Structure 1
């Protein structure tokens, strides 16, 4: 019996001793797969692993990240290296830019930032950034950026189908000659689950203790108790999606007065998941073609027209499936009174015959909008008057006691604003 236990123990030791090699091999395969899937999913951030040197207990790799600016088409390359440590159940990767975390000669960080990735054989990965206090000065512009230490962490489970994210930054500030902004107590928590394509469900909560703005040209302004919450839920066996988001501010302090609370609520109901996936992928393809180095010529023009056709078809399918979207609530407390409003646009779900006879997406769009503003805002504040005066002149904002109001309805490609009917052009 004793001999059997000795043999079993020796077998366990052999397996345990071989596990770092197995873990190292699996880690390399997983890393290459992550690179490939990320590059295929979008064109804006591309990862290349140029040299992966795998050892028994550790590995080293060199690679590069290329970031594309979608507005200009310009790219920026960041070379990096990583040290990989292999354990029995997973690996630990420590990343660092080849050129360092700051430009040569700059003293941005009190300590070295740390970007790590911890992986497990069963598909769990934890990416974490630990940042020390940061101080960046621009003597040419007179601007400066300061932050306390902070942490950003994302835990990925079930081989990428679920994720938990956390960002905590106690303090950050941006100062310049014209404006200074100071943020205290920034925190974000998010839980996500992959549904289909680019669609994720889950919830997010974000909060800021206070935001303070100071400027030589205005009195100090402080916003306290900023809170945002969003949730996205699937229904009809994952075929439809409901999404809601609210942004609230407990109070605003300005010129020794306190105003609040303030609230903005957004809602998206009954979105068709399949049509939305096709629409987003088609728009990504169209943008990629537009930014391509050879974005001219007959062949490229045909590809762009085909992508535009896919976008149009996806929009028609999305509308025909029915949806509702808009700002369900707007409430702002100002020194002169409360601003309220809402705006919602919807499209009915069509039968197959109705969809076949559908000429325009706009044809059956319906909705309503309301806005109520204290008249004194227009009378006493030139900046507000500059924005709202054209609406008043056109009769889109009409007096109602001591307020200016807008009441609009959309139906049959016609907008009725305070009794004025305005036809809509057939844009799509």
Structure 2
């Protein structure tokens, strides 16, 4: 009997001691979870973690910088906090767990959601370190306030599952409907939004994966201009995988219908591909991009930083003979079908040869085709000609302030004449082929020779 009593005493002591011991492990795990959250683009400003024996309270402050202004050169800041109540395991209300975490998002110290709103943001961490975050936002209405429009949505649910090392993450979210309105005017309607994604790290640390993002319907209204845009069945699928020792990726865009002020476009489909990418170079790029995102730079600075990263890794990328493809381009327009394909690959090209144009052309292999309605092609060509003319006249005025700019009517007339001349020239040279109401072209590049519609086109001499 004494042995049983002693056993119960030991078990009881162990159960009482376990939450405190587990608490040290949970704190380390939770801080790692916040670091992973910060990699999504939010800057981790501060973290206050108060650990007790059976649980803990944590407040983590994040800062998000949002580009603003017409040229997006200015930055506005938004600071929010993730406040969590943490229950230590091993025994929780959900069974054997390392921890049960219930969180709330707050802006300026106040809960983002009303106090009586039954939102669930709950993270369960298993004994083995694997975890899942469940987000369940029931349907609700948030009245308009100041410049903020009224918000009505039919709820949202989703979950994120991750392993102990955050190296494998699967996510799923669904938003049935969201509507924004100002008074009686509708501003935005979104229906049937879904997101499914998966990602995992390979042995080198490179994150690969993919997923699908889809919207059943989206409608937007601009009250000032009266413009109305409605799109149906939008979808984006992406996937990256390792083939042999190189990485390839595909992106597939789909749209069933797009209506802009009565003009109907669609269905549309675009398939893009990247292949023969060395994983070592991609890993360096991935790590650099995470560092750039953490700095939350303005768009222009971020673009320059990303360009610098790509340039720095370009020699390693070229070693795999990278391949870029547009496997399918198909867009139905009011004037007819736009369709095309593209395949472009460098073979044996080295970075030191980039400045040598003949060497570059000699190591590129390309095959491209495009067809579109003649009316649409003429419209696009005319817009380019008009923009080029306007830029030339403005540059002339910079040199001579007394120079007179043409009127809008004069500019339009000149652009029409030049557009017709350029189109006739392209048709005469058979760079473009007219097929009824359609303009088409086919080009190939191999061994430094360019062929357009079956005819070899001499390339202009280039300095070496």
Q: TM-score, normalised by structure 2?
A: 0.69
Higher relative contact order (CA 8 A, sep 6+): 2
What are the superposed Cα offsets for residues 386-412 of structure 1, whole Å, 9 maximum, x if unpaired?
369868477375533210224344557
Aligned position for 1:248: 254
* SS at structure 1 position matched to 2:199: strand
Q: 1:403/1:180 Cα in 2 relative to 1: closer, same or farther (>3 Å)?
A: farther
1:370 shift after superposition: 2.3
Counterpart contact for 1:415–1:423, Cα < 8 Å: no
Aligned position for 2:411: none
1:273 shift after superposition: 0.9
Match of 1:186 among 178, 181, 193: 193
Gaps of 5+ in 2: 68-72, 91-96, 386-415
Measure, in 2, the Cα distance between the counterparts of 1:125 and 1:269. Answer: 34
Q: State yes or no: 1:125 paired with 2:135.
A: no
Match of 1:267 among 257, 268, 273: 273
Measure, in 2, the Cα distance between the counterparts of 1:413 and 1:400. Answer: 29
Counterpart contact for 1:90–1:121, Cα < 8 Å: yes
Aligned position for 1:45: 42
Measure, in 1, the Cα distance between the counterparts of 2:3 and 2:356. Answer: 76
Counterpart contact for 1:109–1:135, Cα < 8 Å: no
Aligned position for 2:337: 338
Q: 1:259/1:10 Cα in 2 relative to 1: closer, same or farther (>3 Å)?
A: same
Match of 2:434 among 387, 399, 402: 399
Measure, in 1, the Cα distance between the counterparts of 2:78 and 2:36. Answer: 20
Aligned position for 1:229: 237
Counterpart contact for 1:23–1:121, Cα < 8 Å: no
* SS at structure 2 position matched to 1:20: helix
Counterpart contact for 1:101–1:113, Cα < 8 Å: no
Q: 1:108/1:171 Cα in 2 relative to 1: closer, same or farther (>3 Å)?
A: farther
Moved more, 153-162 or 221-230: 221-230
The structure having more radius of gyration, on CA atoms, is 2
1:123 shift after superposition: 1.8
Gaps of 5+ in 1: 296-303
Q: 1:259/1:46 Cα in 2 relative to 1: closer, same or farther (>3 Å)?
A: closer
How do 1:96-175 and structure 2 match up within 5 A? 96=104, 97=106, 99-102=109-112, 111=117, 113-132=119-138, 133-135=140-142, 137=144, 140=147, 144-175=150-181
Moved more, 212-221 or 201-210: 212-221
Counterpart contact for 2:130–2:163, Cα < 8 Å: yes
What is the root-mean-square deviation of aligned Cα atoms in Å? 4.4
What are the superposed Cα offsets for residues 24-49 of structure 1, whole Å, 9 maximum, x if unpaired?
2211121233445666x68x422244
Measure, in 2, the Cα distance between the counterparts of 1:135 and 1:124. Answer: 35
What are the superposed Cα offsets for residues 167-222 of structure 1, whole Å, 9 maximum, x if unpaired?
10000234579984422111111121112677322331233223345568789765
Counterpart contact for 1:182–1:213, Cα < 8 Å: yes
Q: 1:214/1:117 Cα in 2 relative to 1: closer, same or farther (>3 Å)?
A: same
* SS at structure 2 position matched to 1:159: coil
Q: State yes or no: 1:278 paired with 2:284.
A: yes
Moved more, 18-27 or 175-184: 175-184
Aligned position for 2:70: none
Q: 1:159/1:415 Cα in 2 relative to 1: closer, same or farther (>3 Å)?
A: same
Q: State yes or no: 1:386 paired with 2:383.
A: yes
1:359 shift after superposition: 4.6
Measure, in 1, the Cα distance between the counterparts of 2:77 and 2:220. Answer: 33
Aligned position for 1:301: none
Aligned position for 1:17: 16
1:284 shift after superposition: 6.2
Q: 1:80/1:290 Cα in 2 relative to 1: closer, same or farther (>3 Å)?
A: closer
What are the superposed Cα offsets for residues 333-364 of structure 1, whole Å, 9 maximum, x if unpaired?
2343322112332222x4xxx74864559823
Counterpart contact for 2:432–2:440, Cα < 8 Å: yes
1:65 shift after superposition: 0.8
Measure, in 1, the Cα distance between the counterparts of 2:377 and 2:351. Answer: 48
Between Structure 1 and Structure 2, how many residues are aligned?
A: 399
Q: TM-score, normalised by structure 1?
A: 0.74
1:242 shift after superposition: 1.7
Match of 1:59 among 33, 56, 61: 56
Aligned position for 2:324: 325
Measure, in 1, the Cα distance between the counterparts of 2:19 and 2:152. Answer: 42
Counterpart contact for 2:43–2:294, Cα < 8 Å: no
Q: 1:386/1:368 Cα in 2 relative to 1: closer, same or farther (>3 Å)?
A: same
